[in-house]
Amino acid sequence: MKKGLKVSMLILLISAISLAIIGCNDKPILNVYNWGDYIDPDVIKDFEEEFNVKVNYNTFATNEDMYVSIAKGGTSYDVAFPSDYMIERMISEGLLAEINKDNIPNIKYIGEEYLDLDFDPGNKYSVPYMWGTFGILYNKTMVDDVVDSWDILWNEKYAGQILMLDSQRDSIGVSLKRLGYSMNTRDLNELEEAKNELIKQKPLVYAYVGDDVKQLMVAEEAALAVVWSGDAVAMMWENENLEYVYPKEGTNIWFDNMVIPKNAKNKELAEQFINFLNRPDIAARNVQYIGYSTPNVAAQELLPEEIRNSQVAYPSKEILKNTEIFRDMKDMLSVYDELWLEVKTER
Ligand code: N2P
């Protein structure tokens, strides 16, 4: 074969292969950034099929990790799922795009108590996804004291059997609440005291955990853990010795909403995804998979009675009265950051 012919055949072959590759990949891509263990994978598949798109799904473990990737990272995400105080911060730093509600008609299914909250008045930048509390999950066969106070997490009897959340606002919040202080305190003496208590507690702590809390508690490798309510529900499905308690000193209530970062590449598709997740049948299915509490009233009605009536997922007004929502600490943020760093690096 002549050299010229060979070269043109090679070019032809390369173009055919590239065309085939492009052909498979020409679907619009939605970049999603969510907490680990926080969606039913089939819900993503259904969205991909129904909208003929590809979802790139990435996960994070804490609000702070998510913030760093979005504020400083190179990846542009189309949808992310921060909590209340972090949404407040991202709005104030101009990191979020305004959401076009015309593309989210399913927002009508959200209960009004989950809308128009202080961290995002008018829901200009965020649409509710899940909400919950955190509390103490304990194993009834491993703990013989009454569990009704954060104090039990400082009881030496349970040394090596206590799990704390590897999440700064949550763990600092536990320590502050136990001392009778606000989880949003700006008082340096209170913060110092909370820090010293966390350092004092450290030898009793088996580990600071994220999603691995589930495996450890279900396998009965620890007796007591600070957990988010939805994870408590999911763990109680797996092990009937587990019980969730709202400590009497009070706890945190949180709201995880969906947002669109300002540098999103596919804003309209992001809005379609947010709308899809608020379709009552989809939201109900998702909740039954992950265990968390939905703000979608129409979805709540589709849930089996044992979930709908669960005090863990849907606590009474009485319990909710004794909860506090995290606020963005703004100028005090570095104090909280430094405090947590000291706790984590203390030996
Ligand atoms: C799920 C994480 C839940 C987030 N693994 C609590 N805000």
pLDDT at 75: 84
Measured in residues, the chain has a length of 347
Query: How many independent structural domains does the chain possess?
Result: 2
Whether the CB of 338 sits within 6 Å of ligand 1: no
Residues 83 and 219 reside in one and the same domain: no
Strand partners, 131: 255, 293
For atom 1 of ligand 1, the residue with the nearest CA is 38
Residues 192 and 326 reside in one and the same domain: yes
Q: Give the chain's residues under pLDDT 50.
A: 23
Residues 79 and 224 reside in one and the same domain: no
Strand partners, 130: 256
Separation in Å, CA 322 to CA 176, 180, 303, 304:
14, 12, 26, 27
pTM of the predicted structure, to 2 decimals: 0.92
DSSP letter, residue 265:
S
83 CA: nearest ligand 1 atom: 7
Cα–Cα nearest to 35, from 236, 292, 269 = 292
Give the distance (Å) from ligand 1 centre to CA of residue 115: 19
Separation between Cα atoms, residue 179 and residue 173, nearest integer Å: 10
pLDDT at 206: 98
- Token readout for 177 is 């609440």
Distance, C-alpha 1 to centroid of its chain? 62
Find the Cα–Cα–Cα–Cα dihedral 108, 113, 117, 120, rounded to 10°. -20
pLDDT at 73: 73
Residues 277 and 341 reside in one and the same domain: no
Tens of pLDDT, residue by residue over 206-235, are 999 999 999 999 999 999 999 999 999 999
pLDDT at 18: 54
Residues 71 and 102 reside in one and the same domain: yes
Q: Residue 138 sits in which domain range?
A: 132-253+320-345
Residues 205 and 333 reside in one and the same domain: yes
Give the distance (Å) from ligand 1 centre to CA of residue 151: 24
Residues 118 and 140 reside in one and the same domain: no
Cα–Cα nearest to 79, from 57, 62, 53 = 57
Residues 158 and 218 reside in one and the same domain: yes
Give the distance (Å) from ligand 1 centre to CA of residue 140: 24
| Contact criterion met (CB below 8 Å) for 240 and 246 | no
- The CATH number of the domain holding residue 339 is 3.40.190.10
pLDDT at 9: 62
- Token readout for 171 is 């763990």
Give the distance (Å) from ligand 1 centre to CA of residue 103: 26
Residues 192 and 325 reside in one and the same domain: yes
For atom 2 of ligand 1, the residue with the nearest CA is 35
Residues 106 and 179 reside in one and the same domain: no
Residues 231 and 306 reside in one and the same domain: no
Residues 109 and 10 reside in one and the same domain: yes
210 CA: nearest ligand 1 atom: 5
Burial 251-267 (b: 16+ CB within 10 A, else e): bbbbbbbbbbbbebebb
Separation between Cα atoms, residue 251 and residue 228, nearest integer Å: 11
